[in-house]
Chains A and B, each alone.
Chain A
């Protein structure tokens, strides 16, 4: 129904930051269109000057799906995640904004449940959680699971953050809520995701959760080393002191 709409406002804007996601960006765009057949949405790809030709693929996708459904909003070089969302947001016309990773760890098949949950509850933020029934993670070794659980217990006990999955970034926001949250968050990396949800709780926004599964296709364990743990602890202390 929305496919032939010639531009104008959309109901949902899906912001996908990319860096060297040539193949994945094509797959995710296909899967989003497959799972949201009757939804008035746009996909905003914020590409940070990928050298692998991600932007060429996005232009090919625009030929298939239309330039008014798949928007390419590139930046010249790799900048922070928060500014990528802000950059995407500037070009978003939707009342609701979905943020998801391009690496397919966030599967677009969960988008309908985010939308349904928001409609049912009128929530300001709907956040995907891996740590409940019907949710889950694939591709983590024992060490990765242990650190994840430890970090989660620590944060739940000390911060009372109001959400069960703090570092996940598959979320749906009301547009003005996202604008407000981004402008008050300063952290980097995945501490940024934690700061967003903790600040949302403190500001009294209505947060709902939906189960998601997370398939980690980067099978290296290098993603979570000692420096990440230190960053996490610093982020925790920062949030304890400022929220």
Chain B
């Protein structure tokens, strides 16, 4: 199944529940009318939280840049001994 259909199916299911709530009026209708807004706000919060969380704990590796410079020097030394032209970029 194409992924878009999964998403559409989920939206349809959520809408069906919402309409059922509106029709049966098990909770006061004035509350039910606000539910979609809560849903959008909740999704937005989830997104912002995930991005913020990801940014706070973004894995960085400054030591790798140093190690790479060492590897580059080592490689250049070996290769120039073997006659490979690594003098210029």
Measured CB to CB, the residues of A under 8 A from B are: 22-23, 26-27, 30-31, 34, 56-57, 60-61, 63-64, 104, 107, 130-133, 135-139, 142, 145-146, 149-150, 152-154, 157-160, 213-215, 217, 239-243
**Which A residue sits closest to B53, measured CB to CB?**
A149
Roughly how many angstroms separate A240 CA and B62 CA in the complex, as a whole number?
36
A144 to B37, CA, bound (A): 31
Closest 9 CB pairs of A and B: A136-B61, A136-B59, A149-B54, A30-B75, A213-B61, A153-B50, A213-B64, A60-B84, A27-B75
5 contacts between A and B (CB under 8 A): A26-B75, A27-B86, A60-B85, A138-B65, A240-B4
Contact surface of B with A, Cβ cutoff 8 Å: 2-4, 7, 46-47, 50-51, 54-55, 58-62, 64-65, 68, 71-72, 75-76, 78-79, 82-86, 88-89
Q: Is the interface of A mostly helix, strand, loop or mixed?
A: helix
A136 with B71: in contact, given A60-B83, A159-B3 (CB under 8 Å)? no
Residue of chain A at shortest CB distance from B73: A27
A61 to B3, CA, bound (A): 46
Give Cα A43–Cα B75 distance, bound, in whole angstroms.
17
* 10 further contact pairs, Cβ within 8 A, besides A56-B85, A240-B7: A22-B88, A23-B86, A31-B71, A61-B84, A64-B82, A107-B64, A133-B59, A136-B61, A138-B61, A152-B54
On whether the beta carbons of A215 and B84 are closer than 8 Å, the reply is no
Q: Give the chain A neighbours of B84 by CB distance below 8 A.
A: 26, 57, 60-61, 64
A242 to B4, CA, bound (A): 8
Q: Give the residues in chain A near B71, CB-CB below 8 Å.
A: 27, 31, 107
Q: Which residue of A lies closest to B89 (CB)?
A: A23
Q: State A30–B60 Cα separation when bound (angstroms).
A: 26
Closest to B52 in A: A149
A153 touches B65 (CB 8 A): no
Q: Is the CB of B68 within 8 A of A107?
A: yes
Which chain B residues lie closer than 8 Å to A34 at the CB level? 75
Within 8 Å CB of B83, what residues of A?
60, 63-64
Interface centre among A138, A152, A157 (most CB of B within 10 A): A138
